Every structure is written in C-alpha cells, then in structure tokens.
Amino acid sequence: MTGSGRTSGGRVGEGRVGRPDGGPLRVAMITTFYPPYSFGGDAIAIERLASSLARRECRVTVIHDVDAYNALHPGPEPEPPAERPDGLAVVSLRSGLGPISPLLTQQLGRPIASGRQIRRVLAEGAFDVVHFNNVSLVGGPGVLSAGEGIKVYEAHEHWLVCPTHVLWRFNRELCTERACVRCVLSYKRPPQLWRQTGYLDRQLAEVDLFIAKSEFSRRKHAEFGFDRDMEVLPYFLRDVPDDPPPARPEESPHDRPYFLFVGRLERIKGLDDVIPMFERYPDADLLIAGDGTHEGALRRLAVGGERVHFLGRTSPETLERYYRHSIALIVPSICFETFGIILIEAFRQRTPVIARRIGPFPEIVEACGGGELFETAEELVASMRRLQHEPGYREDLARRALEGFRERWSESAVVPRYLDLIGRAAETSGQPEIARAVASAA
C-alpha cells in the first residue's frame, strides 16, 4: 500500500473552503452498525464516543445502514432508544432495496444505493471531522472520498487487510499468510474483486488519520501490508467516581461461586475449550452471557453438566452485577481481536480477568496487572484455583484492575487523547480553524 495523497488544506484538487471561527466542533461518524441496529461491542463503543463528544457540546451526526443490519438479522427490528444526548443526531439509511444494497456495496466497494444520501448529509452538515468506523457495508472504500474536513479511519476490525475482517483463515485457524480468495469462499461469501486492484489504496489516500485499537492490531495491520502510520487509541467506558458512596450489601445473582464469560457465542471466542473443563472443576460454575450463531453447539456441549449456565443476551445493568460478583472474567478467544472491550468492562467493576495469551490481551492485562494469562487448559485451571482460593491475591488484582481502568481506559483518559489526535491532524493538514474548534471541545 502506498502513502497518503493528502495535501495541506484538503484533498488533491478540492480546495476546501476554510471554516469560520466560532461555533461547536461538527463531527460526522459513518458506520455500518449502530445501536440498536448492531451486534457487537464496536458499535456500542462508537455510540459511547458519539455521546461523549455531544456532552462536550460538539454537534455529532451518526450515519448507519439499517439495510445491512436487517440483511444479517432477519426478523422484527429493535426498538429505537427513547432519547439521545442533546447535540447527537442519527441518520438511519434505508435504500428500499433491502439486502441487495449491502450486497452491492460488498461486491463493488461503493455505496451504490445510499451514496447520494450520504454525500448530501455530509455536504449539508459542513462537518469539521468525518470519522469512518466499520464502513464495509455502509459504503466500502468508496465512501472515504465523501465529505471534507479532517478524515479519520478507526480500525475496529482488520477489514483494511482482511476480507473476512477477523484474520481467521478458512474459518478454522489463525491467518498467518494470505489466501484471501479461497478463504472468502470457505465462508461462503463472494470474493471482492476490487481488492485485487489499486482502488482501496486510492481511497485510503483520502484519510488524514488512521487509528488502531491496540499496539497488537497496529502491528498486525503492518504485517499484512498496511504501510500507513497508525495511532493507537483504546476503547473507553464512562468514568468511575473516585470516591463512590457506600453501597448497601448486594446479593449475588447466582447461588454458587462462578466465573463469567461475556461475548458473542461464536467458535472463534474459544468456549469450546472451556465448557468441558467445568466437568472437572467442582468448586465453581461458569456463567455465559451472550448469544450468537454457535450457541446451539455450545449448549449441546454442555448437556449433562450442572456447572455451565447460559444467561442469554443480558442488559448492561444486569451484566454489571454479574461482573461484580464473579471470581474472574474468562476470556478464551482463539482469534486475533483488535482490542477486547470486555476486559475493561471487568476492570471497571474491580473484576480480574483470565485471558488467553493471544492478540491484544497480553498488552491490556500486563499494562495494569489486573489479571492472569494462559495458553493451556492446565494454566487456565491453575489461574482459576488461585483467584478463587487466595482472596488476598484476587483482591490485589482487583485493585490493580480498577486503578488501570481509571488511568488508561476511562472516558476522561481517552477522549482528550482522541481530540488531541484530531487537533494535530488539523494543524498538519493546514486547517488551524478546525484545530481551534477541537481545542474548544477538549
């Protein structure tokens, strides 16, 4: 991949009109999925950032694709939220073509059905920042040329270097070298011929700032041929008060000691290795929060056991209670994730984690000392025993987890770094008026 084609003051041949001083920072966020039309933690993270910016008196507009959600989730649509923060608007794209719209985007790499509406929203909003997230089905690389201002691409997945997003080759193993066409066919998806041309490179030249979610993900992008600079900016959650008021004693949501799993129930999440272990571990149960396409297979694997319990999709408020009372969160993923939001969700509740030594998990756990890492089943069981039967040791990990969350992954720690990156990109591209608007929001 080649270097950026951006020039000072705008894209080649555009000659952007300067932003007048004064007024709030205007941010457009473009993503395929956005709550409640979403599946995973990346969409929730986008919502958190959009809401945080709105609370800082920015004007934020989120553009997402309902057709893409419905194509992957047939059935009744979810209820929209009752309210959103002041300053946050949401544009839900519906082309009238149903699943044909995201299929055209996936195959042609362009927003065929919704491109005109996206460009109209961006033109009318005169945004200072256009922040692209997961654009695979909302517009593909073609959408990167839409709009003006500072353009940001946040790599929530490995879509920039992997047609399946997850570097999970042939739907059975970690990807260590490219075999993209055969791999995509193994997923029963049509190959994207535009990836064999220079189209993606040309569109990426429109972007001022690339963000990876972990140092591991930045390295993995480079390993697979992405040669542009990437900044590392982690996910975040709302702050925890420094001195929370005393809470009344809270009853555990489960009548036995338990370890917790949270996430999509897919094979790449690694539960196939964990569930059978609880037949040999009588001291605690395993509670599984989430749903997904692999749920049926996991339930069959757990048949006959008394220590594995499926909670289904769980509300954030209820899930916090499960975190607080668990011995530890088990994170057994066997794929290359870009981050791991559930780790910092656990840290926020003073819950240690036991994570597989893969992908970004080591850098997160080792950054604060809020858990342990494992590679084998024996190491996992040993960690479980330590955390369950050495309460002083577990308490030390819990304290480190919360301290690490506050310092590294809280809203007050991450959002100012995000704004600083935008401000520096504006200065570098010769748009000081945007840099000043960013500074007013910081």
Mean pLDDT value across residues 270-281: 94
On the question of pLDDT at 243 being above 80, the answer is no
Q: Which of 44-48, 122-126, 214-218, 243-247 has the lowest mean pLDDT?
A: 243-247
Beta strand 209-212 pairing with 150-155: parallel
Separation of alpha carbons 291 and 314, rounded Å:
9
Mean pLDDT value across residues 53-65: 97
On the question of pLDDT at 340 being above 60, the answer is yes
- What is residue 75's predicted lDDT score, i.e. its pLDDT? 85
- pLDDT: is 41 or 89 the higher one? 89
Separation of alpha carbons 96 and 287, rounded Å:
41
- What is residue 43's predicted lDDT score, i.e. its pLDDT? 94
- What is residue 244's predicted lDDT score, i.e. its pLDDT? 62
- Candidates 82, 166, 194, 193; CA nearest to 359 is 166
Separation of alpha carbons 180 and 406, rounded Å:
40
Instruction: Pull the structure tokens for residue 156.
Output: 């929530």
At CA 209, angle to CA 205 and CA 213, rounded to 5?
Answer: 120
How much is the mean pLDDT over the chain?
Answer: 92
Give the pLDDT band of residue 81 (cuts 50, 70, 90): confident
Give 59's DSSP letter.
E
Separation of alpha carbons 304 and 88, rounded Å:
49
Interval 153-206: pLDDT, tens: 999 999 999 999 999 999 999 999 889 999 999 998 889 999 999 999 999 999
The model's pTM is 0.92
Give the pLDDT band of residue 19 (cuts 50, 70, 90): low
The 3-state DSSP class for residue 206 equals: coil
Query: What percentage of the chain carries pLDDT values higher than 90?
Result: 86
208, 151 contact by CB (below 8 A): yes
- What is residue 387's predicted lDDT score, i.e. its pLDDT? 98
Give the pLDDT band of residue 278 (cuts 50, 70, 90): very high
